[in-house]
Amino acid sequence: MDTKALDKQYIMGTYGRFPLEIVSGKGSLVYDENGKEYIDLGTGIAVNTFGIADDEWVEAVTAQLMKCQHTSNLYYSEPCAKVAEALCTRTGMKKVFFGNSGAEANECAIKIARAYAAEKKDRDTYFIITFKNSFHGRTITTLSATGQDVFHVDFTPLTEGFLYAEVGDIEGVERFIAENKVAGIMLETVQGEGGVVPMPLSFVRSLEKLAKENDILLIVDEVQTGNGRTGELYSYMNYGITPDVVTTAKGLGGGLPIGACLVGEKAEFTLGLGKHGSTFGGNPVAAAGALNVLSRIDRDLLDGVKAKSEYIFKSLEGKKGIESVTGLGLMIGIKTVRDASEVITELREKGVLAIKAKDKVRLLPALNIPMPLLEKAVNTILEVV
């Protein structure tokens, strides 16, 4: 049987896959099972930060792979200690816990918020405010944190203790805090799965103020927005706020599974000995990938992300067939007049891979996509819409 038939027969039908197999690639060019070439604007959902099979990244990862592939957290390991150092020095956060995915990073953040409140206030203070249209993961608890009913159907009872506020409604958040014992506020500065919608600056700043005044932990979910994607190392830096907890994953490993939960001063010591763990968390090969990725996200690269973003906005905004362009950096949502799925299909036929977010065409290109490829892809988009 070929791959598609095997997949259909033996893999649970949880994914609506595009009708092609990605076999190989180099940077922002990828090839399918028939050798057809595509410009990749999806990067495995913002994971392949420097595209596919990037030389420097491959070298860093394989060097570690040949030394030692796994140690468990029973032993010290240099790559994960160095990633933690890099994350803390570049964010001002104090400590890191490593998992393997975005959902795990968020699970850790939720545990921190509850444990912090249990210690500082009481055990009944466990509510976490999240937002309508948010996305925080697929485990039962991160699903509960996700403010979209469509994901909840069939999985009840959900984890207790989540309150869903409306983005922009600061009075609503204040009311939740006044009427419930709240331990945390968790947000995506740009809601990715929710349609690539940035939160207003003043709203995010007000959330920071409210959290501070009430000794509530401010948790920023940077799973998708993080690691240079929005033109800053982490998206909260665009907003000039200081979160208490930052979670990230997707692009951190550059293509290998790694998730991280960073804590600031307030909750630095909240999760002590025996309070959390992960067998694979901080895996040295994934950590070597992350170290390479972080070492290359410098001001030059970030300015490049901003310039490419500006180019995309300028080229697409107000053009025929395009209703709106939203997002930040190289995380972009395009509302097209034509149905988004139709647009994505036609783009694919013309050699451009884009993905969907709600009813929008979503672009998440590699941070180092060469300008000529980006221009070619943008022209194809203009043609198709």
Ligand X SMILES: *Cc1c(COP(=O)(O)O)cnc(C)c1O
Our CB check for ligand X shows the closer of 247 and 336 to be 247
Residues 315, 294: Cα–Cα separation, whole Å: 30
CA distances from 59 to 62, 64, 234, 256, 339 (A): 5, 9, 25, 14, 41
Q: Does 32 bind ligand X (CB under 6 A)?
A: no
CA distance 303 to 231: 7
Among 221, 266, 366, 373, binds ligand X (CB under 6 A): 221
Helices (H), the chain: 3-10, 43-46, 55-67, 78-91, 102-120, 140-145, 149-152, 170-179, 201-213, 236-239, 284-296, 299-316, 340-349, 371-384
Residue 199 interacts with ligand X (CB under 6 A): yes or no:
no
Nearer to ligand X, 52 or 109 (CB): 109
Listed ranges 125-133, 159-167, 176-184, 217-225: which one lies at the site for ligand X (CB under 6 A): 217-225
DSSP 266: T
Residue 223 interacting with ligand X (CB under 6 A): yes
Q: How far is the CB of 157 from ligand X (least distance, A)?
A: 21
DSSP, collapsed to helix, strand or coil, labels residue 302 as helix
Query: Does residue number 232 form part of the binding site for ligand X (CB under 6 A)?
Result: no
Judged by CB under 6 A, the number of residues near ligand X is: 15
Is there binding between residue 262 and ligand X (CB under 6 A)?
no
Q: Binder to ligand X among 43, 224, 270, 278 (CB under 6 A)? A: 224
* Residue among 158 and 382 whose Cβ is closer to ligand X: 158
Q: Which stretch binds ligand X (CB under 6 A): 51-59, 99-107, 210-218, 336-344?
A: 99-107
Query: According to the binding rule CB under 6 A, does residue 220 interact with ligand X?
Result: no
Rounded CA gap, 21 and 172, in Å?
Answer: 46
Tell me: does residue 249 bind ligand X (CB under 6 A): yes
Alpha carbons 112 and 245: distance in angstroms, whole number: 9
x/- string (CB under 6 A) for ligand X, residues 122-161? -------------xxx------------------------
Question: CA–CA separation, 134 vs 146, rounded Å?
Answer: 5
What does the alpha-carbon distance between residue 257 and residue 318 come to, in Å, rounded to a whole number? Answer: 38
**Is 235 among the residues that bind ligand X (CB under 6 A)?**
no
Q: Are 46 and 224 in contact (CB under 8 A)?
A: yes
Closest CA to 233 of 326, 301, 185: 301
Q: Classify 176 as helix, strand or coil.
A: helix
**Of residues 176-195, those binding ligand X (CB under 6 A):** 188, 192-193
Which positions ≥6 away from 21 have C-beta within 8 Å?
A: 3, 4, 32, 33
Nearest approach, Cβ of residue 121 and ligand X (Å): 27
How far is residue 277's CA from residue 207's CA, in Å, rounded to a whole number?
Answer: 30
The CA-atom distances, in angstroms, between 255 and each of 41, 50, 168, 258, 284 are 15, 9, 34, 9, 14
Q: Which is closer to ligand X, CB of 297 or CB of 331?
A: 331
Interface mask (CB under 6 A) for ligand X, residues 59-98, using x and -? Answer: ----------------------------------------
CB-based contact 74:289 (threshold 8 Å): no
Q: Which C-beta is closer to ligand X: that of 28 or that of 225?
A: 225
If the CB atoms of residues 190 and 384 are measured against ligand X, the closer one turns out to be 190
Between 126 and 135, whose beta carbon lies closer to ligand X?
A: 135
Comparison of 102 and 327: residue with beta carbon closer to ligand X:
102
Min dist. Cβ of residue 151 to ligand X (A): 12
Structure tokens at 193: 């799965």
Contact status: 102 vs ligand X (CB under 6 A): yes
Nearest residue (CB) to ligand X, 54 versus 221: 221
**Which residue ranges make up the site for ligand X (CB under 6 A)?**
101-103, 106, 135-137, 188, 192-193, 221, 223-224, 249-250
